[in-house]
Amino acid sequence: MTDVIVVGSGVAGLSAALSAAETGARVTVITKASLTLTATDRAQGGMAAMTSSLPDGQPKDSVQLHVQDTLVAGAGLCEPPVVQGVVQDSADAVRDLTDRGVAFDRVAGPGSPWVQGLEAAHSVSRILHAGGDATGHAIQEALSARTRDAAAVGDIRLMEYTLVTGVLTDGQHAIGVTIRPVLSDGQLGAEEFLAADHVVLATGGAGQLYPYTTNPEVATGDGIALALRAGAEVRDLEFFQFHPTALAAPGSFLISEAVRGEGAVLRDQHGHRFMTDVDPRAELAPRDVVARAVFAVRTGSPNGAVYLDCSTIPVPDGLSRAEFLARRFPTIDASLKAHGIDWSTELVPVSPAAHYHMGGIVTDELGHTTVAGLWAAGECSSTGMHGANRLASNSLLEAAIFGRRIGELVAEPWSGAQRASSSSDSERAPHEVLRPLARSRQEQEPPTPRQPSGSTDPLHAAEDSALSYTGRTAEKQIDPSPTGSVEPTESFSREALQHTMWQGAGVFRTAEGLEQAKARLEGWLAASSAVADASAPETLADAENRNLLTVGHALATAALARTESRGAHQRADYPATDPLQAVSTGWVAARSVTPAHERTVHADSLSR
């Protein structure tokens, strides 16, 4: 028995685990790969923080400025109280990370001011860095070291290479998870049940839905899929941020926004600096604006291309451009050199790539989901911080703060009392997945714990919470297709799924493209159900594909329902922003349980 299960090992998960363990809770951290294989580890740009209250902080910054920048980028869908709370806590987050071993860069060593950079849509230089462009890596290494130290003395149980296959409930409260070990050949071992008072989902994003992504290979939407199957509410799944500047080459990687913050500009194939024609903020416009402009230039002509020009970056006296870039951006510098590019003298070809999912599991300002005892933090969550488009470098900040908040709360003795007070919502309409729960921002209330439908027996609860890519659980057939009659146009592969999502639910979207993508995913789901073996997925890849199909289908459904363009959701057939749609739409997966215990899950109900 453990008090708290944390699923995921990035900054959100490890912040939650360490905070809970330090308060005396028995904590288990579960990750399907190594402890350090996370999106946090890849984060280059830094962490936005309002540091004016700290020694050597940014004197020109204020809570109001940071909040306003975040709200503007969020395109009307941020929740101002949540944003205010996160920004107010940002100085504490800096202290906590520093205390746990993160050494943020300083101008001239210990005691000197921090290096704080400027990034797109920020009104002042407030971005903290560590190791130049290796901020996420520095945070990951520090928190991982603390976690391993805690595991060595028994304060944390660490389970690497272990896949969580389901979140179990007793009908009112999360009671644990089902897990399967990931073997060296990618096969999955026998399933086990691990009980806990609290389950924290901190699994990261779903960038592997797309062929071009800055995310690691483990970003397969696991947390959102697990939450949907457990009956939790999700929202804003249509908002997927595409970073404007990934290297346009095989094995592409992120070229941090901080490079443009230092003065680099974007040019088309003719050498024209096109962003000055698009937005008065030029290269420092919000990411959604820049990404759409880059995509339009690249696809607007047969030879369309976009290049990052670093010759415009001011260089300090005494340094060559090559020396400055290598010192300021060592990770990017080494990666570009490995691709044979000297960015001190050459233009760098860039392309948009899937970067961050603003949508996710609905939480309140403390991290509670709509299922009692189930919590969420980091990219898999939707806290109200980011709205329709995340402000650059706010993700590490939000993840660290919500992770810490959750860790402190789950360790408090009174937190278990939620079991008795959870409200019931077990009478859901049958055949209704992604049931819209639209509400205005003014009307939004903290999530209410709900009772997922299904058996109160833990083993049956595990089955009731599973939506399998193979179409089966241990005892019952599941048909995730709304009609069961949609035929896939090609056999399923990860590459085919990614191509489908890029074409139909990528940077620009239309009803036709989204319908085609949705139908193709439904066909794959129906086909997998028809030919599935009588067992659950036997490989990690199968389980991840199941989760990607679940999240991809939900994303396309949500994108079809939003008939406007807002933030990172750009509809070519609805190019205007509709003030009447300045609302977040929540969705829940509804189930119909037959006497034979067959449960059909549908994901296409768009009635409001």
d(CA 418, CA 2): 17
Q: Looking up tokens 């020694």, which residue turns up?
A: 55
Are 477 and 553 spatial neighbours (Cβ–Cβ below 8 Å)? no
Share of residues in the chain with pLDDT > 70 (%): 83
Position 509 confidence tier, pLDDT thresholds 50, 70, 90: very high
Structure tokens given for 457: 């027996």
How far is C-alpha 522 from the geometric centre of its chain's CA atoms? Answer: 23
Are 115 and 127 spatial neighbours (Cβ–Cβ below 8 Å)? no
User: In 461-607, at which residue ranges do the beta strands (DSSP E only) sit?
Assistant: 583-584, 586-589, 591-593, 599-601
Mean pLDDT in residue range 580-607: 53
What letter does residue 449 receive in the DSSP assignment? P
Number of CB atoms found within 10 A of residue 413's CB? 7
What is the dihedral angle through the alpha carbons of 220, 470, 239, 565, rounded to the nearest 10 degrees?
150
In the chain, how long is the greatest CA-to-CA distance? 78
Predicted pLDDT at 479: 29
Structure tokens given for 177: 């998870």
Mean pLDDT, the chain, whole residue set: 85
CATH (residue range 241-354): 3.90.700.10
Q: Residue 554: which of 482, 460, 474, 454 has the closest Cα?
A: 482
Structure tokens given for 486: 């949609």
77-87 residue pLDDT tens: 999 999 999 99
Q: Please list, in sequence order, all residues whose beta carbon lies within 8 angstroms of the beta carbon of residue 250, skipping any fewer than 6 positions away.
A: none
122-172 residue pLDDT tens: 999 999 999 999 999 999 999 999 999 999 999 999 999 999 999 999 988
Q: Looking up tokens 């990411």, which residue turns up?
A: 287
The packing angle between helices 11-22 and 395-410, to 10°, is 30
What type of residue sits at position 601?
V
Residue among 287, 404, 450, 472 flagged as catalytic? 287
Position 337 confidence tier, pLDDT thresholds 50, 70, 90: very high
Q: Looking up tokens 């739409």, which residue turns up?
A: 585
d(CA 121, CA 137): 24
Predicted pLDDT at 530: 56
Predicted pLDDT at 467: 27
57-73 residue pLDDT tens: 899 999 999 999 999 99
Number of CB atoms found within 10 A of residue 302's CB? 5
Q: Is the sign of the CA dihedral 547, 367, 424, 415 positive or negative?
A: positive
- Does 450 qualify as catalytic in the annotation? no
Q: How many residues does the chain have?
A: 608
- Is pLDDT at 534 greater than 70 in this prediction? no
278-316 residue pLDDT tens: 999 999 998 899 999 999 999 988 888 999 999 999 999
Q: Give the H/E segment covering residue 195.
A: strand 192-201
- Is pLDDT at 604 greater than 60 in this prediction? no
Domain spans in the chain, listed from the N-terminal domain onward: 241-354, 431-601
Q: Looking up tokens 């746990």, which residue turns up?
A: 100
Q: Residue 182: which of 551, 545, 538, 527 has the closest Cα?
A: 538
394-411 residue pLDDT tens: 999 999 999 999 999 998
**Going by CATH, does the domain composed of 431-601 fall within 3.30.200.20?**
no
Mean pLDDT in residue range 41-54: 93
Please tell me the pTM assigned to this model.
Answer: 0.86
Predicted pLDDT at 219: 98
